[in-house]
């Protein structure tokens, strides 16, 4: 019985593809994607943005480049809009040109794949992807079509948002990408009188980070150990339907045991110790990426910026925010 799936071919269009995602909308995902792209550009890199957020393709608005039209070159490749040297491709442009995009709320994979493959961006160092919010079909069809080297999850620092972060991390794991970390947007405001930080966080950030890492460790151990054990399973049934039934049953039984091990191991504080213990189960696992998962940046809420954007002006952030994004860009580059 063959269990081969046909996966879309994923093309590399830049040396590094950075996906910005969030568990839900309105947390500043586009804001982070655009500022990160601008910062990378400022550091001298060749940068492209791919905006496939069907719910709010707002990248062109933030960049003040909403009236671009996409033309094709002589080879039939789409020419992205150039904004200060950044190659911008957005669902918004195609929507405005009347390209039929949405069927039952899902951006057609073909279109995403065309936006990736059939766009002539020239050579790029970084492609920053503004993905649809949430962890539904829209995100999954993006993930299926776009190569991702590095994931950045955007959230606000409230407890209620953390479940969304976990889901976003889980969605990335389908790609076998462990996100580099989380950007906490709208973390504080600056007092206009004394300049002190006024925190908007309702969580203990260090504890939140610990909890997230532990959830990631648990998932990683559970998934990899289950796969590892299932690989060794041999079924006796010849009939494919019976064989599948048998496999499902074995998997269900195995899962209980594996979950128990994952729970126990993920409570250990030393990752090297976890790896050593997994080796005893015959599994070689490198958990260093989970260990490195971090709060990548904390970004203030800038009321002036927010007002300007709402008034339809292109985004212009203050010096503090600019500096934060420059150090984020250096860290991810």
Ligand X SMILES: Nc1ncnc2c1ncn2[C@@H]1O[C@H](COP(=O)(O)OP(=O)(O)O)[C@@H](O)[C@H]1O
User: Contact residues for ligand X (CB under 6 A)?
Assistant: 22, 25-31, 56, 58, 133, 185-186, 299, 301-302, 305-306, 309, 315
Nearest approach, Cβ of residue 129 and Mg ion (Å): 12
Q: Which does 16 bind (CB under 5 to 8 A by kind): ligand X, Mg ion, none?
A: none
- The DSSP secondary-structure symbol of 8 reads P
Do residues 151 and 22 make contact, with C-beta atoms less than 8 angstroms apart?
no
3-state secondary structure of 264: helix
Helix axes 271-280, 205-231, angle to 10 degrees: 10
Nearer to ligand X, 22 or 145 (CB): 22
Number of CB atoms found within 10 A of residue 302's CB: 19
Q: Which does 28 bind (CB under 5 to 8 A by kind): ligand X, Mg ion, none?
A: ligand X
Nearest approach, Cβ of residue 155 and ligand X (Å): 10
Pairing of strands 47-51, 126-130: parallel
Nearer to ligand X, 22 or 113 (CB): 22
Nearer to ligand X, 30 or 141 (CB): 30
Does 142 interact with Mg ion (rule: CB under 5 A)? no
Distance of alpha carbon 147 from alpha carbon 128, whole angstroms: 11
Closest to 272 in 3D by CA, of 261, 288, 296: 288
Closest to 32 in 3D by CA, of 49, 46, 54, 13: 49
Distance of alpha carbon 20 from alpha carbon 58, whole angstroms: 14
Nearest approach, Cβ of residue 95 and ligand X (Å): 16
β partners of residue 284:
none
Nearer to ligand X, 141 or 155 (CB): 155
**Cα dihedral 39→45→49→50 (10° resolution):** -140
Nearest approach, Cβ of residue 169 and ligand X (Å): 16
Written as one string, the DSSP assignment of 205-261 is HHHHHHHHHHHHHHHHHHHHHHHHHHHT------SHHHHHHHHHHHHHHHHHHHHHH
Nearest approach, Cβ of residue 90 and ligand X (Å): 13
The residues, any chain, with a CB within 8 Å of residue 27's CB and separated by 6 or more, are: 133, 154, 155, 156, 161, 185, 186
Distance of alpha carbon 132 from alpha carbon 53, whole angstroms: 4
Nearest approach, Cβ of residue 140 and ligand X (Å): 18
Q: Which does 290 bind (CB under 5 to 8 A by kind): Mg ion, ligand X, none?
A: none
Measured from each CB, the residue nearest to Mg ion is 30
Q: Which does 127 bind (CB under 5 to 8 A by kind): ligand X, Mg ion, none?
A: none
Nearest approach, Cβ of residue 186 and ligand X (Å): 5
Q: Which of 14, 19, 30, 183 binds Mg ion (CB under 5 A)?
A: 30
Q: Which does 26 bind (CB under 5 to 8 A by kind): ligand X, Mg ion, none?
A: ligand X
Q: Which does 89 bind (CB under 5 to 8 A by kind): Mg ion, ligand X, none?
A: none
Nearer to ligand X, 25 or 136 (CB): 25
Nearer to ligand X, 182 or 274 (CB): 182
Q: Which does 186 bind (CB under 5 to 8 A by kind): ligand X, Mg ion, none?
A: ligand X
Nearer to ligand X, 11 or 318 (CB): 318
State which of positions 46-105 bind Mg ion (CB under 5 A). 53, 56, 58
Nearest approach, Cβ of residue 29 and Mg ion (Å): 5
Phi/psi zone of residue 114: left (φ > 0), alpha (ψ -120 to 50 degrees), beta? alpha
Site residues, Mg ion (CB under 5 A): 29-30, 53, 56, 58
């Amino acid at each position: 019985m063959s269990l081969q799936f046909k996966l879309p071919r994923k093309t590399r269009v830049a040396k590094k593809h950075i996906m910005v995602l969030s568990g839900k909308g309105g947390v500043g995902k586009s804001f982070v994607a655009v500022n990160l792209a601008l910062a990378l550009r400022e550091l001298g890199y060749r940068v492209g943005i791919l905006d496939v957020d069907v719910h709010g393709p707002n990248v062109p608005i933030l960049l003040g480049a909403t009236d671009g039209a996409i033309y094709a070159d002589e080879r039939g490749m789409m020419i992205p809009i150039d904004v200060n040297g950044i190659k911008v491709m957005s669902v918004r442009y195609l929507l405005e040109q009347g390209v039929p995009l949405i069927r039952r709320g899902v951006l057609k994979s073909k279109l995403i794949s065309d936006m990736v493959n059939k766009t002539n961006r020239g050579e790029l160092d970084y492609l920053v992807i503004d993905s649809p919010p949430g962890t539904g079909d829209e995100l999954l069809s993006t993930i299926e079509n776009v190569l991702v080297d590095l994931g950045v999850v955007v959230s606000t620092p409230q407890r209620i948002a953390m479940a969304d972060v976990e889901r976003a991390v889980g969605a990335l794991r389908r790609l076998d990408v462990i996100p580099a970390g989380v950007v906490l947007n709208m973390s504080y405001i600056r007092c206009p009188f004394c300049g002190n930080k006024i925190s908007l966080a309702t969580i203990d950030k260090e504890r939140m980070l610990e909890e997230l890492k532990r959830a990631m460790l648990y998932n990683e151990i559970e998934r990899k150990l289950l796969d590892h054990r299932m690989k060794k399973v041999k079924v006796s049934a010849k009939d494919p339907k019976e064989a599948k039934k048998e496999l499902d049953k074995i998997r269900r039984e195995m899962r209980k045991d594996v979950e128990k091990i994952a729970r126990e191991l993920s409570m250990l504080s030393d990752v090297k110790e976890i790896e050593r213990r997994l080796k005893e189960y015959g599994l070689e696992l490198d958990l260093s990426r989970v260990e490195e998962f971090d709060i990548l940046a904390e970004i203030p809420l800038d009321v002036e910026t927010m007002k300007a954007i709402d008034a339809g002006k292109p985004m212009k952030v203050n010096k503090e925010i600019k500096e934060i994004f420059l150090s984020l860009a250096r860290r991810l580059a």
